[in-house]
Amino acid sequence: MRSLHHPGREQLDLPAVLYALSDPTRLEIVRRLAGDGELACGTFGLPVTKATLSHHFKVLREAGLIQTRVEGVHRYNSLRKQDLDTRFPGLLKAVLKASVPG
């Protein structure tokens, strides 16, 4: 398996970040991670296959939104809050606030 690629803080690209956030499934993943800290891929009860989910995690990872830590057979994902907030101040907070319908 190819090792997981995480772009550096300086490489974060706004269009890529916005694009990653523009998919409802990925937005939901980000919301969960914002609340729960660290989650394995399989713990999201989303209505897509594991292949599709894996694809979405890859998009989020390569855009620099999440960090994936390997432990045994699991991949634990977490939001790169610090990096995002440094590079794009207020963006994540605004997106998270807005993504709660109501």
Partner DNA sequence: TCTATTGTTTGATCATAATCAAACAATAGG
Partner DNA sequence: CCTATTGTTTGATTATGATCAAACAATAGA
Binding site for DNA (CB under 7 A): 1-2, 4, 19, 23, 25, 40-43, 47-59, 68, 72-75
Q: CA-CA distance, 88 to 90, in Å (whole number)? A: 6
Under the binding rule (CB under 8 A), the answer on residue 70 touching a copy of itself is no
Is residue 88 at the binding interface for a copy of itself, with CB under 8 A as the rule? yes
Nearer to a copy of itself, 19 or 35 (CB): 19
Q: How many C-beta neighbours within 10 Å does residue 41 have?
A: 16
The tokens for 13 are 């690209």
The size of the interface with a copy of itself (CB under 8 A), counted in residues, is: 21
Part of the chain binding a copy of itself (CB under 8 A), chosen from 2-10, 42-50, 73-81, 82-90: 82-90
Report if residue 48 touches a copy of itself, rule: CB under 8 A. no
> Are 61 and 70 in contact, with CB atoms under 8 Å apart?
no
- Looking at residue 40, its amino acid is A
Which member of 22, 49, 51, 72 binds a copy of itself (CB under 8 A)?
22
Q: For the residues of 35-76, what is the DSSP string, one character each?
A: HHSEEEGGG---SS-HHHHHHHHHHHHHTTSEEEEEETTEEE
18 binds a copy of itself (CB under 8 A): yes
